Structure 1
Amino acid sequence: MSDRIPRARRRLLLVHSHPDDESITTGGTIARYCADPDTHVTLVTCTLGEQGEVMVPELEGLVAEQADQLGGYRIGELRAAAAALGLSDQRLLGGIGQWRDSGMVVADGVHAAAPPPELLHPRALSSAEARDAQIAALARIMDEVQPQVVVGYDPGGGYGHPDHVRAHEITMAASAATSSVRKIYWTVTPHSDIQRGLDELVGAEQEGLPWRLAKAGELPSVPDQTISTRLDVEPWLPAKVAALRAHATQLTVWQSGTRLAWALTNEIAQPLLRNECFTLVDTDGSPRPVTGETDLFDGIEVR
């Protein structure tokens, strides 16, 4: 972690809800820009993921319902993932443990919904009372870093998790209040990329894939026409895979030759895609009429 103001001309800031989110949706992007000496990358993680399930049997006692030590353990996983991606500036919103994972209710497949309000922890990230303080905390980081480009989630948080929805809200509000911000992106996955990735995994069960393939429409995705920016992250896939594997309590990566898949504790195989895609939006959330970008800094003059 670093509190120094970056000297690089290009400055990228990403906001994610829990440890592992950064690697799942933007691991290749982070690795790509961290490899550029003229770009400073800052990752802001909003919670420690305290309510997560655990894939490693010998660590199941860490979960919230037992020792409630999972968040502290996941700090180590986050740091290992950051190292794999080449990331040196990783911050926890408000400091370690300021806001807590809200948990979720599984709606269907990998889609999520908010738990009943009475089940929320007093420090839950999605707490209505905490929103203004969270915006202020994120705005302070942005004021220090002065990013030109900010990456967050879409209004539905990608798959409905209440912490992703809150991360979207505070990212948009803090970005609107930060004069350096020139571009805001939502990390998204187009329908066609998901389908192509699933098609490439057909028959992988015979090669040892230990999970069932996701069904059509089961994985979160957006219409292709909403994509403004597509980054080829294949050169950084080894770094992304290493970062994903660092989050061993939460997910597992499977590989056979060039086939790559990963799964959470739900054991639904998801393709590990070679592109990471984004939608460019204005501060009010309206899409900006741009397509075909291959660099998040396209069109930005840097000094």
Structure 2
Amino acid sequence: MTLTAPPRLLLVHAHPDDESLWTGGTIARYAASGVHVTVVTCTLGEEGEIIPPALQQLAADAADQLGGYRVAELRAACTALGVTDHRFLGGIGRWRDSGMAGVAANDHPRAFANGSFDEQVAQLSEIIAAVKPQVVVTYDDFGGYGHPDHIQAHRITTAAAADVDRVFHAVTSRAATEAGVAALAEMADLPWRLPAEGELPVTDDAAITTTIDISDHLVAKLRALRAHSTQVSVWQDGTGGASYALSNGIAQPVVQAEYYVLAKGPAEGAETDLFGGLD
């Protein structure tokens, strides 16, 4: 890196666990190399489905305490990834998990996806002005898989990061995912079903501009995923194989890289480094 200012990376995520699922290896890699990493989380993930039976009463339709529980999970995940600068958009609890499109949670008065766009952009702009990141990461305009909160995170980040050197969208590689699923099919005792064709969200590799090698940081990523135990289950076979599943019980591969599409800024040098070529 030849930056004249300290490298600063800011990631905008919708819910606790998204930072680990989408960008955990990238966060761990850059934090370990001395980059100042800031993670912004937009909601507490109150509408998440809960995996452990013993914690079912935390759910939104019961005690409605899942958001507070997930704050602790997020703190543990950030520790695993080496993040020391975490912020909630607008302060903790300002915006609520909207749930998937078409559910009653969309109409909550604090639902992030239907909240004041101008207020949210102002809140994120304030963070960006304070942190002064050269690189910002969020989702694409489909939010990766269509979740309203992910789409809103994309929208406000696009507006707030107008003066940032580079903006990337975190995506998943079709080729890496298919190869990873094929490897899972050869593993004995995998506790979940394999995904059907087209069941996992992927991006065609021709559209991917940036590949970040996270092979040296998979331990940190897996530790962070384990921290989100209400939302994510992690399995390892003892010989280096690993998989995780959400509440749907679909096995997903843990691949050796994380993938991005450059949405704004110079492309030269960005093929394998979010900061590559910046000066």
| Interval of TM-score (by shorter of Structure 1 and Structure 2) | over 0.9
1:59-115: per-residue Cα shift (whole Å, max 9, x none)? Answer: 1100000000000000000000000001100000000100000011xxxxxxxxx12
Structure 1 residue aligned with 2:107, among 93, 97, 120? 120
Aligned length: 275
Change (3 A) 1:139 1:224: same
Identical positions, percent = 53
Structure 1 residue aligned with 2:172, among 164, 169, 189? 189
Distance 2:267 2:257 in 1: 21
The aligned residue for residue 275 of structure 1 is 257
C-alpha deviation, 1:289, in angstroms: 5.7
Distance 1:172 1:274 in 2: 28
Q: What TM-score, normalized to structure 1? A: 0.88
1:55-70 → structure 2 map (5 Å cutoff): 55-70=51-66
Decide whether the 8 Å contact of 1:150 with 1:184 is kept in 2: yes
Letter in 2 for 1:275: A
Distance 1:118 1:69 in 2: 15
Q: What TM-score, normalized to structure 2? A: 0.95
Structure 2 residue aligned with 1:90, among 86, 90, 93? 86
Decide whether the 8 Å contact of 1:228 with 1:290 is kept in 2: no
Change (3 A) 1:198 1:93: same
1:159-170 → structure 2 map (5 Å cutoff): 159-170=145-156
Structure 2 residue aligned with 1:234, among 215, 232, 240? 215
Decide whether the 8 Å contact of 1:280 with 1:290 is kept in 2: no
Decide whether the 8 Å contact of 2:60 with 2:66 is kept in 1: yes
The CA RMSD measured in Å over matched residues stands at 1.7
C-alpha deviation, 1:120, in angstroms: 2.1
C-alpha deviation, 1:281, in angstroms: 1.2
The aligned residue for residue 182 of structure 2 is 199
Change (3 A) 1:119 1:42: closer
Structure 2 unaligned segments of length 5 or more: list them.
Answer: none
Does residue 17 in structure 1 map to residue 17 in structure 2?
no
Distance 1:14 1:173 in 2: 14
Structure 1 unaligned segments of length 5 or more: list them.
Answer: 1-6, 105-113
Decide whether the 8 Å contact of 1:229 with 1:291 is kept in 2: no
Name segments (4+ residues, structure 1) moved above 3 Å.
116-119, 288-292
Distance 1:118 1:86 in 2: 33
Letter in 2 for 1:260: A
Letter in 2 for 1:237: L
Letter in 1 for 2:240: T
1:128-176: per-residue Cα shift (whole Å, max 9, x none)? Answer: x411111110000000000000000000000000000000000100001
Distance 1:278 1:78 in 2: 23
Change (3 A) 1:118 1:157: closer
C-alpha deviation, 1:290, in angstroms: 5.8
Distance 2:9 2:205 in 1: 24
Letter in 1 for 2:184: L
Distance 2:30 2:106 in 1: 39
